[in-house]
Amino acid sequence: MKKLFSALVFSALTILSVNISVAADAEKLDVNTATEQQLTTLSGVGEARAKDIIKGRPYKAKDDLVKNKIIPQNVYDKIKEKIIAKQK
């Protein structure tokens, strides 16, 4: 009985952590689909940078923004936890 209870608790915690991870990604802004207005809500991203991000699409990874010299590293460091680059 103790093993069954432990297995159930482990399963529940695993499912919970997966759901939290999916929810966290859902809250991130996708640089491949976000509008100019959505992009300008990010720290260090104004109208000009938002337009450059849109112009440089699609991105294979979010760090392509720095690799392709769309935004500087210091701006990327501020926003990297808030963005994602989903692939179609």
First to last CA, the chain: 46
Residue 7 tokens read as: 């297995």
pTM: 0.71
Q: What percent of the chain has pLDDT over 70?
A: 70
Average pLDDT, the chain: 86
DSSP 8-state class, residue 83: E
Give the pair of three-digit tokens for residue 4.
Answer: 């069954």
Q: Is the pLDDT of residue 52 over 80?
A: yes
Q: Assign 85 a pLDDT band (cuts: 50, 70, 90).
A: very high
Residue 33 has pLDDT above 50, yes or no: yes
